[in-house]
């Protein structure tokens, strides 16, 4: 049985979608939560919901692509709960278009949130985790980072970068009791994937061997495992949560 009682857990992009699903799951297992997101109203409504369920939660407005925001986020967790046990680097964006049409700004935006944001938060968190000699970090990669995907050169590169970052961090931090793993989701029904045209979306779901779209809980269950002592001998691992995967090059997040 996974138990996160009294563990502090930061979830970036935690106000909606997969991040909110992760917060709900970790809270249900006893974790004290820090919800980081861009928009104050959505943070507040998420924190109110979590508190209504009896979980401890605070919200921090944070753009993970900004180093000072990431530092403030991690410091807020330390200040509130006295430690930084779990960091879930979930915040992510897409700016899909074919490479021949991609503007430099679309490339930069995706890399700076998905990859640099993961670096910023991890870099700030290990300051405390190294002192504690413990910690669990779970990064959100993607099937697109493993397989590549048409229309997602920026996103695929950022999520492949997250895989390399995860593996290198795991090696550097293992001797200090800090584990670093990643999850590579396939198609998960959230606002991010709702932006994909319906006919393409249906084709993607049909191509999944388990014949359904994933839901945020599918990812949350995997995050709960990787952030708990139940996975204490696992680090540097990339866990596919994708219903059996689907063919590359037909769209995805
Ligand atoms: N939905 C999928 O099919 C899928 C598949 C593979 C990977 N993922 C990854 O899972 C993660 C969550 O995806 P989702 O589907 O829930 O997306 P979503 O768009 O529904 O939610 C993302 C959340 O991150 C927040 N966010 C965006 N930029 C941010 C920033 N700079 N700083 C802080 N917060 C920021 C958003 O405000 C939002 O609340 C992302 O990293 C995404 O790339 C999703």
55 is catalytic: no
Tally the domains of the chain.
1
| Distance of CA 123 from the midpoint of ligand 1 (Å) | 20
| Distance of CA 188 from the midpoint of ligand 1 (Å) | 11
Residues sharing a CB contact under 8 Å with residue 228, sequence separation 6 or more, in sequence order: 2, 3, 4, 29, 136
Instruction: Establish if 154 belongs to a structural domain.
Output: yes
Distance CA 112, CA 90 (A): 13
Domain around 126: 8-241
Going 100 to 106 to 108 to 110, the CA torsion angle's sign is negative
Instruction: Establish if 127 belongs to a structural domain.
Output: yes
What CATH number is attached to the domain comprising 141? 3.40.50.720
Instruction: Establish if 248 belongs to a structural domain.
Output: no
- Measuring from atom 25 of ligand 1, which residue has the nearest CA? 13
Indicate if the pLDDT at residue 252 is higher than 60. Answer: no
How many residues does the structure list for the chain?
253
Indicate if the pLDDT at residue 136 is higher than 50. Answer: yes
Instruction: Establish if 211 belongs to a structural domain.
Output: yes
Indicate if the pLDDT at residue 249 is higher than 50. Answer: no
pLDDT value at position 246?
65
- Measuring from atom 44 of ligand 1, which residue has the nearest CA? 253
pLDDT value at position 54?
98
pLDDT value at position 195?
87
pLDDT value at position 253?
53
pLDDT value at position 59?
98
Instruction: Establish if 44 belongs to a structural domain.
Output: yes
Q: In this predicted model, what pLDDT tens digit does every residue of 45-68 receive, in sequence order?
A: 999 999 999 999 999 999 999 999
How far CA 249 is from CA of 192, 208, 213, 246, in Å, comes to 18, 13, 17, 9
Q: In this predicted model, what pLDDT tens digit does every residue of 18-34 receive, in sequence order?
A: 999 999 999 999 999 99
pLDDT value at position 4?
98
Instruction: Establish if 37 belongs to a structural domain.
Output: yes
Indicate if the pLDDT at residue 158 is higher than 70. Answer: yes
pLDDT value at position 133?
98
Instruction: Establish if 202 belongs to a structural domain.
Output: yes
How far is residue 35 CA from its own chain's centroid? Answer: 12
Indicate if the pLDDT at residue 251 is higher than 70. Answer: no
The preferred substitution site among 59, 66, 92, 223 for testing ligand 1, maximizing ligand atoms within 8 Å of CB, is: 92
Distance CA 136, CA 117 (A): 17
pLDDT value at position 250?
42
How far CA 219 is from CA of 19, 50, 122, 146, in Å, comes to 9, 18, 20, 17
Cβ < 6 Å from ligand 1: which residues? 12-13, 15-19, 36-38, 62-65, 90-93, 113, 117, 140, 142, 185, 187-188, 190-193, 253
Instruction: Establish if 249 belongs to a structural domain.
Output: no
Q: In this predicted model, what pLDDT tens digit does every residue of 177-212 receive, in sequence order?
A: 999 999 999 999 999 999 888 998 999 999 999 999
* Helix (H) or strand (E) run with residue 136 in it: strand 135-140
């Amino acid at each position: 049985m996974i138990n996160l009682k009294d563990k502090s857990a930061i979830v970036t992009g935690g106000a909606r979608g997969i991040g909110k699903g992760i917060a709900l799951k970790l809270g249900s297992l006893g974790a004290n939560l820090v919800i980081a997101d861009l928009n104050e109203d959505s943070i507040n409504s998420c924190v109110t919901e979590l508190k209504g369920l009896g979980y401890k939660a605070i919200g921090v407005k944070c753009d993970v692509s900004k180093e000072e925001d990431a530092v403030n986020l991690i410091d807020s967790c330390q200040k509130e709960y006295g430690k930084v046990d779990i960091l879930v680097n979930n915040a992510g964006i897409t700016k899909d278009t074919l490479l021949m049409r991609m503007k430099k700004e679309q490339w930069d935006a995706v890399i700076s949130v998905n990859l640099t944001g993961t670096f910023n938060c991890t870099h700030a968190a290990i300051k405390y985790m190294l002192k504690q000699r413990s910690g669990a970090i779970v990064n959100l990669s993607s099937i697109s980072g493993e397989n590549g995907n048409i229309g997602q050169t920026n996103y695929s590169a950022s999520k492949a970068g997250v895989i390399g970052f995860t593996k290198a961090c795991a090696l550097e931090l293992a001797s200090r009791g800090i584990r670093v793993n990643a999850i590579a989701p396939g198609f998960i029904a959230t606002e991010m994937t709702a932006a994909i045209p319906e006919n393409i979306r249906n084709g993607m779901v049909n191509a999944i061997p388990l014949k359904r779209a994933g839901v945020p809980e599918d990812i949350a269950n995997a995050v709960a495992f990787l952030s708990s002592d139940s996975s204490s001998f696992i680090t540097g691992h990339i866990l596919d949560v994708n219903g059996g995967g689907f063919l590359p090059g037909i769209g995805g997040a």
